[in-house]
Structure 1
Amino acid sequence: MVRSTAWLLGALLGLICVLPPVLMTPRTAQCTSLKTLKNKLIGRRRNMKHNLPINYTIRVHYEEVFKLSNITRLRARVEDLEDGDLQDVWLLVNQEVLKRILRVLPVRHPSYKYTTDLEDLFRKVQQVFPPQSDEREPPEQIEEIYKRVKEIDSKGWRFVTPKSLLDNCYRTMHCLFKDCFPSEDREQDYCGLPHWRKGRKRLQ
């Protein structure tokens, strides 16, 4: 009887251990990864501004300066655009941005590990991204962004501070994955500049 009770208890404990991964939906896993990334990005001011020379800039593709205004413009101009298309652009652009930042940082620089940690978090976010349907191709304008971001000899270079690039990453993440970042104000618009202007006194 004691052995039978112990077996049942062990089985129940095993079931409890197995249930959380089963119950975690792809959307939940994605939001968990994005919230972890958000918490890491909060340290961008110290690592990408205070640890670098004043007004220090790096060279990036025009498309890698991915701001809220770019999202608004693409939504207005691109037919058959889906949120998944913009989310894929966000992921690609910011992974490339981190590579460019790492290229100019010595390994012993105080912000080097912070940047590699961000790279690792982006890889984890990518792992839980929903797969694109094989039956649908992204709009031509989105394909062009993919292509230009990967170009080596681009004519559309811009010089931007690393902090500004990560500010863009932080804000556009909230805009494109707003369901993962619920606000007390249900009418809060993460895609609108007024929200971020209002929140400048907060660490954003």
Structure 2
Amino acid sequence: MIQPSTSLCLLGGLLGLFVVAPVLMASTPASMCTPLKTLNDSLSHRRRYMKHNFPINYSIRVYHEEIFRLSNISKMRLKVEGLDQLVLQRLWFQVNQGVLKKIIRVMPERHPSRSYTAELERRFRDVEGVFVQSHPAEVFQQELPETIQDIWDQLTEEPDRVPESSWRLASPKSLVDNLCHTMCCLFSECFTSTEAPQDYCGVSHLRSGRKTSNQTAEKEPEEPEE
């Protein structure tokens, strides 16, 4: 016979699962859409500040894992069965906080793009703050799938302990492009229109965007992802 105290504990545990489980399966919280759209507004100016204000072929050193593209998301979803969207969103924040810091670090104080990048990083942190507040603490204490944990460990490794083979060169523009594309994929509920739904996680979406850009007289064609 189960004692009353034991029954209460079991009931409490079940209720806890009912509280956390919907969060894990839920779409992007509505509270995140405003800061995400504000960040997206800033990203719309990335060509001017991340390309035109840098020398041709300028690149910076980043971890291999910081070149985080739509194709990386697709591969992880194929490799990890039932991969939770929330796990990918957590990884997205971890990747891009490092990317933005590295871009700011290489800019002199008077660089014409420094204030823009600092503002971008501030808005990114605003989104991250809302993201953390929108989920119970238990969500962030759960173990990550092994594949994701390996990437996480590489991202948090001290630079002087990272082997030379794990570094990559990438342009600031391509890194911020990746930030934008993967943001729209992982938080698509905030960007999808009911009138014209789009697959923000598909490479075809990027290609169509570049084609449209090429057809617009005042816009330059988008760079391919690196």
TM range (shorter): 0.7 to 0.9
Aligned length: 178
* Identical pairs, percent: 51
**What is the CA distance between 1:185 and its match in structure 2?**
2.2
| Aligned AA (1:154) | V
Match for residue 125 of structure 2? 123
**What is the CA distance between 1:80 and its match in structure 2?**
4.0
Cα-to-partner distance string for 1:7-62 (whole Å, 9 max, x where unaligned) = xxxxxxxxxxxxxxxxxxx8222011100000000111010100000010000001
Match for residue 58 of structure 2? 56
Cα-to-partner distance string for 1:138-190 (whole Å, 9 max, x where unaligned) = 1111111111012212221100000000111111111101100013323x211
Match for residue 139 of structure 1? 145
d(CA) in 1 for partners of 2:140, 2:152? 17
- Say which of 206, 217, 226 aligns to 1:196: 206
| Aligned AA (1:133) | V
* Cα distance change of structure 1 residues 34 and 154 upon mapping to structure 2, 3 Å threshold: same
- Say which of 170, 175, 181 aligns to 1:165: 175
**What is the CA distance between 1:135 and its match in structure 2?**
6.6
**What is the CA distance between 1:119 and its match in structure 2?**
1.0
Q: Calculate the aligned-residue CA RMSD, in Å.
A: 1.7
d(CA) in 2 for partners of 1:134, 1:195? 31
Superposition TM-score, scaled by structure 2 size: 0.75
- Say which of 23, 35, 39 aligns to 1:33: 35
Segments ≥4 residues shifted beyond 4 Å: none
User: Structure 2: which 5+ runs fail to align?
Assistant: 1-27, 214-218
Map 1:12-27 onto structure 2 (within 5 A).
27=29
| Aligned AA (1:56) | Y
8 Å CA contact 1:68–1:172 kept in 2: the answer is yes
**What is the CA distance between 1:193 and its match in structure 2?**
0.8
d(CA) in 2 for partners of 1:114, 1:154? 30
d(CA) in 2 for partners of 1:73, 1:85? 14
| Aligned AA (2:76) | L
Map 1:31-110 onto structure 2 (within 5 A).
31-110=33-112
**What is the CA distance between 1:66 and its match in structure 2?**
0.3
* Cα distance change of structure 1 residues 91 and 55 upon mapping to structure 2, 3 Å threshold: same
| Aligned AA (1:199) | G
**What is the CA distance between 1:134 and its match in structure 2?**
6.0
* Cα distance change of structure 1 residues 135 and 62 upon mapping to structure 2, 3 Å threshold: closer
Equivalent position SS for 1:158: strand
8 Å CA contact 1:37–1:121 kept in 2: the answer is yes
| Aligned AA (1:185) | A
